Protein backbone atom coordinates (compact mmCIF):
# COMPACT_ATOMS: atom_id res chain seq x y z
CA UNK A 1 0.00 0.00 0.00
CA UNK A 2 1.03 3.58 -0.53
CA UNK A 3 0.09 7.03 0.65
CA UNK A 4 -1.29 9.09 -2.22
CA UNK A 5 -0.92 12.82 -2.77
CA UNK A 6 -4.18 14.69 -2.03
CA UNK A 7 -4.89 17.56 -4.44
CA UNK A 8 -5.44 20.93 -2.77
CA UNK A 9 -8.21 23.35 -3.73
CA UNK A 10 -8.25 25.32 -6.06
CA UNK A 11 -6.32 22.76 -8.18
CA UNK A 12 -8.16 22.49 -11.51
CA UNK A 13 -7.89 18.68 -11.48
CA UNK A 14 -10.46 18.67 -8.65
CA UNK A 15 -13.01 19.82 -11.25
CA UNK A 16 -12.60 16.83 -13.58
CA UNK A 17 -15.65 14.58 -13.81
CA UNK A 18 -14.79 10.97 -12.92
CA UNK A 19 -15.50 8.17 -15.38
CA UNK A 20 -17.30 4.97 -14.34
CA UNK A 21 -15.09 2.04 -13.38
CA UNK A 22 -15.34 -0.46 -16.26
CA UNK A 23 -14.19 -3.48 -14.25
CA UNK A 24 -13.52 -4.05 -10.56
CA UNK A 25 -10.14 -5.76 -10.76
CA UNK A 26 -6.86 -5.88 -8.84
CA UNK A 27 -5.94 -2.38 -10.05
CA UNK A 28 -9.14 -0.96 -8.53
CA UNK A 29 -8.68 -2.99 -5.33
CA UNK A 30 -5.13 -1.58 -4.98
CA UNK A 31 -6.51 1.94 -5.55
CA UNK A 32 -9.12 1.32 -2.81
CA UNK A 33 -6.43 0.08 -0.38
CA UNK A 34 -4.14 3.05 -1.14
CA UNK A 35 -7.03 5.51 -0.83
CA UNK A 36 -8.09 4.00 2.52
CA UNK A 37 -4.53 4.22 3.86
CA UNK A 38 -4.30 7.84 2.66
CA UNK A 39 -7.68 8.76 4.20
CA UNK A 40 -6.83 7.23 7.59
CA UNK A 41 -3.37 8.86 7.63
CA UNK A 42 -4.71 12.33 6.72
CA UNK A 43 -6.83 11.83 8.99
CA UNK A 44 -10.23 12.05 7.31
CA UNK A 45 -13.56 10.25 7.10
CA UNK A 46 -13.92 10.15 3.32
CA UNK A 47 -11.87 10.34 0.15
CA UNK A 48 -12.87 10.33 -3.52
CA UNK A 49 -10.50 9.13 -6.24
CA UNK A 50 -10.69 12.59 -7.84
CA UNK A 51 -8.90 14.00 -4.80
CA UNK A 52 -5.87 11.79 -5.50
CA UNK A 53 -5.89 12.66 -9.23
CA UNK A 54 -7.52 9.40 -10.34
CA UNK A 55 -10.63 10.28 -12.30
CA UNK A 56 -12.70 7.15 -11.79
CA UNK A 57 -15.85 6.73 -9.68
CA UNK A 58 -14.33 5.33 -6.47
CA UNK A 59 -14.99 6.49 -2.89
CA UNK A 60 -13.73 5.24 0.47
CA UNK A 61 -15.15 6.38 3.79
CA UNK A 62 -15.23 5.45 7.44
CA UNK A 63 -17.23 7.54 9.90
CA UNK A 64 -16.71 5.13 12.82
CA UNK A 65 -14.91 6.26 15.98
CA UNK A 66 -12.73 3.13 15.84
CA UNK A 67 -11.74 3.58 12.15
CA UNK A 68 -12.47 -0.06 11.35
CA UNK A 69 -15.68 0.17 9.29
CA UNK A 70 -14.39 0.99 5.81
CA UNK A 71 -17.14 1.57 3.26
CA UNK A 72 -16.16 1.32 -0.40
CA UNK A 73 -18.43 2.76 -3.10
CA UNK A 74 -17.53 2.07 -6.73
CA UNK A 75 -19.70 3.71 -9.40
CA UNK A 76 -22.07 5.07 -6.74
CA UNK A 77 -25.39 6.60 -7.70
CA UNK A 78 -28.01 8.20 -5.49
CA UNK A 79 -31.26 6.40 -6.32
CA UNK A 80 -33.39 8.36 -3.83
CA UNK A 81 -33.02 11.41 -1.62
CA UNK A 82 -35.40 12.93 0.90
CA UNK A 83 -37.12 16.27 0.54
CA UNK A 84 -36.03 17.08 4.12
CA UNK A 85 -32.74 18.95 4.27
CA UNK A 86 -30.09 19.22 6.96
CA UNK A 87 -27.25 21.65 7.49
CA UNK A 88 -23.93 20.14 8.48
CA UNK A 89 -20.56 21.72 9.01
CA UNK A 90 -18.30 20.18 6.41
CA UNK A 91 -14.56 20.06 5.95
CA UNK A 92 -12.45 18.49 3.24
CA UNK A 93 -9.00 16.93 2.93
CA UNK A 94 -8.53 19.00 -0.24
CA UNK A 95 -9.39 22.22 1.63
CA UNK A 96 -7.54 21.76 4.94
CA UNK A 97 -8.51 23.98 7.84
CA UNK A 98 -11.70 25.27 6.19
CA UNK A 99 -15.11 24.34 7.61
CA UNK A 100 -18.53 25.70 6.74
CA UNK A 101 -22.20 24.72 6.76
CA UNK A 102 -23.70 23.09 3.67
CA UNK A 103 -27.34 22.11 3.22
CA UNK A 104 -28.03 18.70 1.70
CA UNK A 105 -30.82 16.09 1.69
CA UNK A 106 -31.14 14.49 5.13
CA UNK A 107 -31.57 10.91 3.84
CA UNK A 108 -30.20 9.21 0.73
CA UNK A 109 -30.23 5.73 -0.77
CA UNK A 110 -27.14 4.82 -2.77
CA UNK A 111 -26.48 1.93 -5.13
CA UNK A 112 -22.85 1.02 -5.76
CA UNK A 113 -20.39 -1.81 -6.26
CA UNK A 114 -18.13 -3.06 -3.47
CA UNK A 115 -14.47 -4.00 -3.94
CA UNK A 116 -15.57 -7.48 -5.10
CA UNK A 117 -17.68 -5.96 -7.86
CA UNK A 118 -20.97 -6.86 -6.14
CA UNK A 119 -23.91 -4.46 -6.29
CA UNK A 120 -25.39 -3.27 -3.00
CA UNK A 121 -27.62 -0.49 -1.70
CA UNK A 122 -27.27 1.51 1.48
CA UNK A 123 -29.72 3.86 3.19
CA UNK A 124 -27.92 6.71 4.91
CA UNK A 125 -28.77 9.63 7.15
CA UNK A 126 -26.85 11.99 9.43
CA UNK A 127 -23.09 12.15 8.96
CA UNK A 128 -23.02 9.15 6.60
CA UNK A 129 -25.51 10.82 4.22
CA UNK A 130 -23.48 14.05 4.31
CA UNK A 131 -20.22 12.20 3.68
CA UNK A 132 -21.65 10.19 0.75
CA UNK A 133 -23.03 13.33 -0.91
CA UNK A 134 -19.82 15.29 -0.26
CA UNK A 135 -17.64 12.57 -1.81
CA UNK A 136 -20.01 12.04 -4.74
CA UNK A 137 -19.73 15.77 -5.46
CA UNK A 138 -15.97 15.23 -5.89
CA UNK A 139 -16.70 12.61 -8.55
CA UNK A 140 -18.73 15.26 -10.37
CA UNK A 141 -15.87 17.76 -10.14
CA UNK A 142 -17.42 19.79 -7.33
CA UNK A 143 -15.80 20.89 -4.05
CA UNK A 144 -17.96 21.75 -1.02
CA UNK A 145 -16.82 25.40 -0.96
CA UNK A 146 -18.71 25.90 -4.22
CA UNK A 147 -21.93 25.79 -2.17
CA UNK A 148 -20.77 28.90 -0.29
CA UNK A 149 -21.18 32.54 -1.25
CA UNK A 150 -18.89 33.99 -3.96
CA UNK A 151 -17.20 36.15 -1.29
CA UNK A 152 -16.39 33.13 0.90
CA UNK A 153 -15.16 31.20 -2.16
CA UNK A 154 -12.79 34.03 -3.09
CA UNK A 155 -11.45 34.28 0.46
CA UNK A 156 -10.88 30.51 0.63
CA UNK A 157 -9.12 30.44 -2.77
CA UNK A 158 -6.83 33.28 -1.65
CA UNK A 159 -6.04 31.56 1.66
CA UNK A 160 -5.34 28.21 -0.05
CA UNK A 161 -3.08 29.82 -2.67
CA UNK A 162 -1.11 31.56 0.09
CA UNK A 163 -0.73 28.25 1.97
CA UNK A 164 0.45 26.49 -1.20
CA UNK A 165 2.93 29.28 -2.00
CA UNK A 166 4.33 29.15 1.56
CA UNK A 167 4.79 25.37 1.46
Q: How confident is the model over 16-53, as pLDDT tens digits?
A: 999 999 999 999 999 999 999 999 999 999 999 999 99
Asked if the model's pLDDT at residue 90 lies above 80, the reply is: yes
Across 74-78, average pLDDT: 98
Note the pLDDT of residue 163: 85
- Is position 107 annotated in a ligand binding site? no
Instruction: Give dist(CA 130, CA 75) in Å, integer.
Output: 18
End-to-end CA distance of the chain: 26
Annotation marks residue 135 as catalytic: yes
Task: For 92-121, write each residue's pLDDT tens digit.
Answer: 999 999 999 999 999 999 999 999 999 999
56, 106, 115, 135: which one is catalytic? 135
DSSP string, 14-67: GGPPPBPPS---HHHHHHHHHHHHHHHHTT-SEEEGGGGT--BSEEEE---TTS
Higher pLDDT, 167 or 150: 150
Which residues are bridge partners to 107 per DSSP?
A: 125
As a whole number, mean pLDDT of residues 2-21 equals 97
pLDDT at 15 over 90: yes
pLDDT at 165: 83
Q: Is the pLDDT of residue 167 over 80?
A: no
Half-sphere exposure for 112 (CA within 13 Å, toward CB): 22
Give 4's DSSP letter.
P
The domains located in the chain, with CATH, are: 12-165 (3.90.45.10)
pLDDT of residue 109: 98
The pTM for the full model equals 0.96
67 is in an annotated binding site: no
5 CB neighbour count, 10 Å cutoff: 9
- State the pLDDT confidence band at 166, using cuts at 50, 70 and 90: confident
Q: Do the beta carbons of residue 131 and residue 86 sit within 8 Å?
A: no
Amino acid sequence: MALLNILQYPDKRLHKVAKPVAQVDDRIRKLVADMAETMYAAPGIGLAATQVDVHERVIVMDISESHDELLVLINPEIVWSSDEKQQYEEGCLSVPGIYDKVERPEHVRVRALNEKGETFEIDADGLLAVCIQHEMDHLMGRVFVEYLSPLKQTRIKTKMRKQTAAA
